[in-house]
Amino acid sequence: MLVFGRRLISLTPERSKFKFYDLIKHSNRHPKHNTLPNSLLDKVGETDAESLRTIEDNEASEAKVKAAEAKIAKVFGGRIKGEDRQSSSRIDVGKPRIIGGIKVPDRPKEPDNCCMSGCVNCVWEIYNDDVKDWNIQRKKAASQLVAKGGVWPEDFHPPIELLRPENLPESIAQRARTENPEKNEEPWEKVPVQIRVFAEMEKRIKSRKKSAST
């Protein structure tokens, strides 16, 4: 190093500050660099080698897309490509059935994994959507059975008030003659699910306090 006045001049060759990036560019991890072994490339022609590179690039792109979809599903709850509804509860539910040509989901079960922290995608809201979809599909299937005939499966929550006696299983039809049909839509169903849940919770707390005082 020489000193001229107040300037310092280095005699060592100047190192490029981009040398690290140049090394990365020529490494096997860089997407533009050939990732196939040289021994393999020596045995195939240029056309075959290019096709192999294209296959590897496509596989890498698909992996990136799947990783991005997994992140989106984790944040927004899935169903990115219009998949069927999944249960909002960890409890496994039954499979949907085709009734009168209509795909009817099994009766939704209340979620048991709510954290009560006001999540954007609250499982109770998903459950509310599941119940609405379940009722809509049941009504469609019931109208098809009434119009075209058929019997609703006994073990699949038949909507008694929407069906005729001939559309009901014999055991349920006999019970419906002697008892009032169960209604699917109650006034409570028009109230938001969150309010119903907290109202039921408050009711349980009051009953516990009352029993403890007595």
106 and 52 part of one domain: no
Q: Are residues 102 and 71 in the same domain?
A: no
Q: Please give the average per-residue pLDDT across 1-16, as a whole number.
A: 53
pLDDT at 109: 81
Tokens of 92: 């496994």
Is residue 153 domain-shared with residue 184, that is, in the same domain? yes
Query: Quick check: is 207 in a domain?
Result: no
Residue at 128 is within a domain: yes
- The total of structural domains in the chain comes to 2
Report if residue 37 sits inside a domain.
Answer: yes
User: Is the same domain home to 59 and 127?
Assistant: no
Q: What is the largest CA-CA distance in the chain?
A: 113
Residue 200 lies in a domain: no
Asked whether residue 104 falls in the same domain as residue 72, the answer is no
d(CA 180, CA 184): 12
pLDDT in tens, 48-104: 656 666 666 677 777 777 777 776 665 555 555 556 555 555 556 678 999 999 999
Sequence-distant (≥ 6) Cβ neighbours of residue 152 within 8 angstroms: 99, 141, 142, 145, 158, 159, 163, 167, 168, 169
Count, residues in the chain: 214
Whether residue 109 sits in one domain with residue 71: no
Do 170 and 102 reside in the same domain of the chain?
yes
Is there a single domain that holds both residue 166 and residue 109?
yes
Q: Is residue 174 part of a domain?
A: yes
* Beta bridge pairs of residue 99: 102
Same-domain check for residues 53 and 107: no
Residues 181 and 133 in one domain: yes
Do 130 and 69 lie in one domain? The reply is no
Which among 176, 178, 182 is positioned nearest to 159, based on CA atoms?
182
**Residue 206, in any domain of the structure:** no
Domain membership of residue 40 (yes or no) is yes
193-206 pLDDT, tens digit per residue, is 666 776 566 567 76
Instruction: For residue 54, give its domain range.
Output: 19-76
Check whether residue 136 and residue 64 sit in a common domain: no
Per-residue pLDDT at 187: 40
Lowest mean pLDDT among 12-26, 36-50, 63-77, 125-139: 36-50
